[in-house]
Structure 1
């Protein structure tokens, strides 16, 4: 059954765009499991998701280019990857309220597909494509700006592994690679806690805990970088 009436109006209000061709948004919300008969893939969101993936990448790239005029290609690429990854798109789909609007087959609906990250991400991209086909680049740009701008301006996770950033920072200053040392281990075997220290010659040691040695090492590197005033997304 197609989305219509108050449900459609509510979705359009949330995403900030009213479709002239309602069939496009209906298609963007249709999972293959809800399609019967021949060529189900052509009557689901899959083709729109393909287009939306590329439209989203183009728009976000443009936004990044304008927002960070001093950023080099490497940083822009890392920011782009963070913004268009599956998890980010799924979060946008939740913000749009797409889960409740999707057309699913009974089996998928019962299995929790409305909350499945991969499906939500695909539907978010399909909606971007639907807006692009219905209203052109400007319509798609406005929709993407509405839901990705805050993420672009304030990334929700470090753009780079803090251990990598610290190693490059040390190398740029003629220092050897950082040394990580396990300070202590506590807790039961099934839920251990590690305290790790990171050391560089002539600089104060930084320590941090974690549920694994790797997690503690990353936390220690992040603590070191924070103390030295180095942003994890920056170049060495």
Structure 2
């Protein structure tokens, strides 16, 4: 099978030369454009999720031999969650080569978190089937290197941490409010404000309410902690 120039460029960004290029083509095919002769990437996504999980579990297990299961679990979740996969997909511009149906293309499918995360898992499976576990492991550890280095910070749920900060000081739980929304329905932007009863507040903008709340909580908590240290 001959790959297009765009997919060949992606293959180079990915850092894996496929012996069976049809695997990569399938990994990039969304269900909105699949046919009986052109299968989508859903089965590969299922496999890739498990390969990613094993590689991350092993990396955490070997990387910190003193860590308990309770410490490793949130780190693991931070590394394999859909947002992390989508961020890696953006890093290698996977969205540019996704094969999508017209409806998905018209609604911004190349930027959707779920589509990017699923496709990244499918690409991992394609590398695994093409080159074996060691090839997939090398790819994952290379692409996830920065996240592994900062996983302790990423594993900390900022909303939970901010609530614990408030409770420790006798304050009610933080309040989250959408203060502004713009953009088209298929790609909205939310401005989220988090506030505490003591008057502390912070805002953040994001493409989803959940991400906006997480970012606002993280920013406010850091400011509160910095103020306490200063």
Q: Identify the residue that residue 93 of structure 1 maps to in structure 2.
A: 89
Displacement after TM superposition at 1:106 (Å): 1.6
Q: Identify the residue that residue 152 of structure 1 maps to in structure 2.
A: 148
Q: Paired residues, what number? A: 201
Q: 8 Å contact 2:202–2:220 — kept in the other structure? A: no
Q: Identify the residue that residue 60 of structure 1 maps to in structure 2.
A: 56
Structure 2 CA distance for partners of 1:110 and 1:136, relative to 1, 3 Å? same
Q: Identify the residue that residue 76 of structure 2 maps to in structure 1.
A: 80
Q: Identify the residue that residue 24 of structure 1 maps to in structure 2.
A: 23
Unaligned runs of 5+ in 1: 168-175, 183-188, 198-206, 230-236
Structure 2 CA distance for partners of 1:192 and 1:76, relative to 1, 3 Å? closer
Q: 8 Å contact 1:166–1:225 — kept in the other structure? A: no
Displacement after TM superposition at 1:36 (Å): 2.6
Give the structure-2-normalised TM-score: 0.73
Separation in 1, partners of 2:58, 2:69:
13
Q: 8 Å contact 2:194–2:217 — kept in the other structure? A: no
Structure 2 CA distance for partners of 1:180 and 1:219, relative to 1, 3 Å? farther
Structure 1 counterpart SS, 2:156: coil
Displacement after TM superposition at 1:69 (Å): 2.2
Q: Identify the residue that residue 14 of structure 1 maps to in structure 2.
A: 13
> Which shows bigger deviation, 47-56 or 95-104?
95-104
Deviations along 1:91-138, one digit per CA (max 9) or x if unpaired, are: 111112111111111221122111111011000000000001111111
> Which shows bigger deviation, 23-32 or 107-116?
107-116
> Which shows bigger deviation, 59-68 or 134-143?
59-68
Structure 2 CA distance for partners of 1:166 and 1:90, relative to 1, 3 Å? same
Structure 2 CA distance for partners of 1:75 and 1:193, relative to 1, 3 Å? closer
Structure 2 counterpart SS, 1:18: coil
Unaligned runs of 5+ in 2: 174-178, 181-191, 205-212
Q: Identify the residue that residue 209 of structure 1 maps to in structure 2.
A: 201
Separation in 1, partners of 2:16, 2:193:
50
Deviations along 1:14-50, one digit per CA (max 9) or x if unpaired, are: 1111110001001100011112347x7xx10000000
Question: Which protein has the larger Cα radius of gyration, Structure 1 or Structure 2?
Answer: 1
